[in-house]
Structure 1
Amino acid sequence: MRVEKQYRQLEGIDEIRIFNSSQKDFYKPTPKEFDIKDLPFQELLDNISVEIHCLVPYENGKDFIIQSIGNFTLEKYNCTPDDVKGRLLSKMSPAFFEILYDELFEVYKTHETKEIRFVYYHKNKLSKLSNAKILFDMGRVFVTSHNVDTKTKKRIDLEYRDFDEDKNDIIENFSQTGSYYIVNGKYMWSQGIYNIINRAKEESDDYFNIVYDLVIPEDKHIVNKIFDSTNEDIAHCNEIIRIKTKDGVLKTVEVNVNSYLDENGVVIRQGMISDITQYSGDELTKPVDFLLDGFKNSTNLALLIEPLNKKQFKFSKGFYYLIEKDYEEFVYSRDIFNNIVEKDVVQRMNMLFDGEIDKIDETLNYYVDGNPDKKKVVDLYIERFEYGNDTHSLGFLTDITEERLKQEELINSNENRIILIKEIHHRVKNNLQVLSSFLNLEKRAYKNDPDLIIEHMQKRLNSLALLHENTYQSEDFKNINLKNYMLEHDKQTIAVVDLPNNVEFETYVDEDINLTIGVITPLLLIIDEITMNAIKHAFPDKTSKDNKITKRITNLGNNTAELIIKDNGVGVDDFGSISKNLGCEIIKSLTKQLGGHISLLNEENGTGYKLVFPTEMEHTSD
C-alpha cells in the first residue's frame, strides 16, 4: 500500500490518495480493552445514508477509543459493532491511525471541522472516492464520510446540455475553446478542454477542476478570485490565466464562468475556456486545421465550418474545387447564389442566412462563373444551431455531377441489360432451390457420410459463385464465353476438390460458344456431377499414370451444342447400376432443366457421356 497526501488549494480540501490497499491494511482483530457505552442515538446513526464513526480521545489525544463504526465499513470488513467497540484505533487499524492521526488530533485540539477527500486506486485505476468531514462534539471526534460511485455511467448533468456533442466538438476545435459544467460538485468536461490541456480523459476527472490545477503559481490568486466571484448563486467572471500542461507546454487561456439557478433551483456553474496563446506574434496551429486537413485529398466532398459567418468561415479544398477558384481568389458574398439554377433554393439559402430557418438540405444545379456549359450537380447541407450564447453553423457540400451522369446513362442504357439483371436474380433464386433439393436428397442417401455431402455441396456452390462473379464482371450478361469460363472452372475444381495423384483435366471448347446464365448453370452442374463421380470411382489404383478426365464441347449449329465428357479409368461393368444411383438422378433432373438429352457412351476404356443441349433458352424472369 502507498499513501500520498496533498492539500488542493483550489478546492480548499485535503486529499489523501491510497494505492493498492487491502482489507488487512485497515482492519486487524484485537481484544477489547475498554468498556464503553453505546451512543444514545446509535439507532439514528445506523439508519442514515452517511457513514458516521465515533472516536473517544484517549490520554489527551495520543490515541482514540472506538465507540462506533458505520455499517458500510463493518460490512466491508465482515465484522460486527462488538468486534470494534472498546478498541484503540492504533491497534485495530494501524494504517488508518497513521494516515489520519494528525487530522484527528488537530480537530480534537481546535474543535474546528476539517474536510478530507479519500481517493482509492487499484492498479492505478480509480476504484473509490469518499468525501469526509472530521468534527468535534460532546467530547468526541466524529468522522463522517460519503462514498461516491466512480463507476456510474450516466452523468448527472447531461440534462443541462441541449446541444449536439458532435457539432459542439467541431465548433470547439474551430475556436480553440472548451466547456465544462459543475452540478452538485461533479464536473463534466467537453473534448475541447482536453485539446487545450493536451491529454486524454481520465476516470477521476469528474471530481476535480482539471484546468485550474495546471495554473502556474504566479496566477493562483486569479483562480481564487474566480472562485470567490462565482460562489454566488448568480454570478459571472471573465479572467485570463496561464497554465502549464503535464507535457510542459505553457498556454494562456481566457476563462468565462457563469453561475445560475436552473428551473428547479439547483445551482449550475458553466465555464468556457479559450486558448489564446501566441508565440512570437504567430498564432498556434488550431485543431480545426487538423480537422480540415482530413479533407485535403477530397475534391468532391467539402467540410464547411461556420459557413454563415463571413469573418470566421473555413472551407475545405472541395469547396474551392467545385467553384473552380483558388483560396486567395474567393470573396465571401451572397453573389455566389446567383450561380444556382433553382430559384426556390436561392430563396431558402437567403432565409437560412437571415436566421428565418435553421437548416437547408438540397440537391441543386450550379453554373461555374454563371456558365451553363459548366454545370455541376451538388448536394448541400447546412445547419444553424445555438451553442452557449452564440449562433454557429456547420455544413457539407458534395459534388455528385459524375454520379448523376452515370445515373442518366444507366436510365438510357439498353433495356435488355435490365431484363438480363432480372434474369440473373431469377436464376440465383432457382439455383438455390435446386441446390436445396440436392442437399435434401443426399442427406437421405449419404446420411452416414456427411463429409461427402459437404464436399459435393462445396463444389456446386464454388461453381455457381464463379459463374455469377464472371457474369457480373461481364459487360454483356447475355453472352458468356464458355471456353474462357470452363478453363477457369477447371482451376477452381482442382483447388476445391481432393484430386487424386496423376489425374489431369483436358478441356476443349469451341471459341464461338456464348451462353446465357440460364443455359450455363445446369450445364455446369451436370459437368460437376460427372466429374466428381469420375474422381471418386474411375481411378482406384493410386499408382496408375496418365489418368485423364476430358471435356469437349462443340457447336453443332442450329442453336445446339454437344458435350462429350469421359475418363480413361477402370470403366463400369453394369451400366444398369449407373442409371439407378443418386448422381444419375441429379444429372437427369438437370438435363431436363436444360432441355437437353444425355446418354452413356460405349467406351473401350473408362466411362463417357454425351449431352446434346440448346445454346439459347427463353428468359424466365417477369
Structure 2
Amino acid sequence: MNIEKKYFPIEKVEEVKIYDLNKEVIFYNSPKVTDVEPLEFESILNQISSDINQFIPVDNGEDLIITRFGKTLLQRLNINPKDILGRRFSECLPFYHNLFKEHVKKVVNKKSKIEKLRLLYFEENTLSLIVTTIVMEKNGHIYIINNYEAESITKTSASNNQNEKLYLIEYMSQTGSYYKTNNKYTWTNGIYNILGRHPKSSDKYYNIIFDLALKEDKEKIKKAMNENLPRKMEIKEKIRIKTENRKIKTLECNLYPKYNNNEYVGIYGFFKDISSELDSSILNPIDYILNGFTHSQKLALLLDPFNPVTYSFTDGFYNIIGVKKQEYTHNYNIYKHIGEKKVVEKLKKMESGEVNKFDETFTFYKDKTTKKPITCELILENFYVNNELHTIGFLIDITQDIEKREHIKIIEKQKIIIKEVHHRIKNNLQILNSFINLEKREYSKEPELIIEHMQSRLNSLSILHAQTCESLDFENLNVNEAITQQEKTLNNLLSSHNDINFITYIDSELWMPISLITPILLIINELTTNSVKHAFNDNTKNKQIYKHMKLIDGETCEFVFKDNGIGLKDTKMQNLGSVIIKSLIKQINGTLELTVNNGTQFKIKFPINQEYVGYK
C-alpha cells in the first residue's frame, strides 16, 4: 500500500492517491472510551448517498472520538458500527486518522473553516474510486463528509483511453464544454457530470445548460443566444441552474463565437461548476442531508405543500403516493387516500393556518384497487419569511419499519409462549403421574388397564400440543377442533366398542386458553372411557354418547355429557374414576350436577373469567 499527496492551490484541495489499499490493516479492535447516543436524524442520514462522519475532538484536535460513522466505508470494510462508535479514531482506524489529522487540527484551531480532499483509490494502477471529502467544524463537533458518487470511472477499454483522460480531467476540475454548428449542439462528458445525468439523443437540439437557468438569470444568457456576436466578443457570466435532480448549481460561463473567413460558424462555450466555492452554506451538514432526499424512494422533502404555485417535492414523494411526477398536479386529492378522518381534519386545519405544526402517522391507500395500504409519517411546520407564510416538512414511508418491528414482537411473544407451553406440558405430565400413582393402588393386578387409561390421556394431551404448535397465537385453541380430534382418537383406541354413536355439538367459533382446555379434555377423556366401558350392556339399543358445550351467559360456560346407558350406580361418585373427574372439575373452579334418568348426565358449569374465553 502506497500513498501520494499533492496540493492544488487554485481549487484549494489536497489530492491523495491511494494505491492498493489493504483493507486488513485498516481496522483494529480498540476499547470503548464513551457511550454514544444515535443522532436525532440517524434514520434520515442512512438514506443518503454521502457519508457524514461525526467526531468529538480531544487533545486539541490530536485525536477524535467517533460518534457517528457513514455506512459506505463500514460496509466496504465489513465493520459493525458497534465495534467503532465511542472509540478513538487513532486506535481503531489509524490509517484514516493519519490521513485527516492535519486537516482536522486546522479546523479545530480555527485556521481554516473548511478543508477539502480528493481521494483517488487505485487498484493495480487503475483508478477504481474517487471520493471527495470535506473536513469541517460545527458546534464543537468535527465532520468528515465523504461523497462516493464517482465510482469505477476508468472501466472503459484501451481504445477509449483519450476520452477517458478527458473525462477524468473534466471531472477533477468540474468543467465541461460545448459547441454549436449547423444548429446542432455537441456536449463533452464534463457537462453531464455537472448536470448529474446521462446523455440523451435529444441533447443536440437544444441548450441543455441555459434551459435549466433560474428565472432571475435568464436575462444574462439572452446575449449568449445571439447568433450574430462580434468576432472578438467574449461573454463571461455566472448563472445558476436547477438540475433535473433539483440541485441548485452556480456555473461560470465563458462563451465566444467562431468565424471562418468572416463567416459565422457557431458558438463555443466553456462551463465550470463553482458552487462549492461560492456557497457558504456548505459549511452546514444539513445541506448534505437535504441532498440525500434526491436518492431516497421512501423519504421525501416537502416545501410549501399547500401552495399550488410554489410547492416543491423531492422524487420520493411521488414514489410514496404512487403517482408519476409528470402526471401529478396540485389539485390531486391526497385527502381521499388517507385512511384516518382525524388526520385529514388536522391536515385541513394546517392548510388553513389554524395550526402551525403537524406530526401524525396514518395509513395511505395508493389507489382504489389497493387492499393493503402503506403506513406513512408526515411532519410539517409553518414558518414566516418577510411576513409570508411557508411550510416545510417530511413524508416518510415507514411500512417496512413497522412490519419489521411487528415481526420482532411476534418472535419475542412466541418465545415466551413456547416456554409457557413447555411449562404446561411439564405440569400435565405431573398430573398424569399422580393418576398413575392412584391407579397403581386401585388396579395393582391389572397393569394393562393402567396402560390403556394412560394411553387415552396422553393422546388427549398430544392433541393439545399439536394444535398449539400449529396455532397462530400459541395461546388460544378452538374448542370444537380439539374435542372433535379427541373424539376420533378415542374411537380408534376404543374400536371394540364401535357400535356407539357419538353426537357432539360444540360452537365452532368458541375459543379457550390452553390452561383451561387441558383439564376439560381430560374430563371428557375420563367420562368417555368410563361410559364406553360401563354404561351399556348387551340389551342397550341405539347406544349414544352426547356432548354439548356453550356459553350460557357472560360469566359461565356449560358442558353437558350424557349417555343412554343403564345409569350410574355409584351416584356418590366415590370410585377412582369419579375422584379423578371431580379433581379436574375443581381445577377449573367448576360445579357438577349429576342426573341418572334413562342413562347418566353430567352437567358441568365453570366460570369464564379466565385468561380468555369467547368468540373470534
Fold-level match, TM-score > 0.5? Answer: no
TM-score under structure 2 normalisation?
Answer: 0.34
**Radius of gyration: which is bigger?**
1
TM-score scaled to structure 1, two decimals?
Answer: 0.34
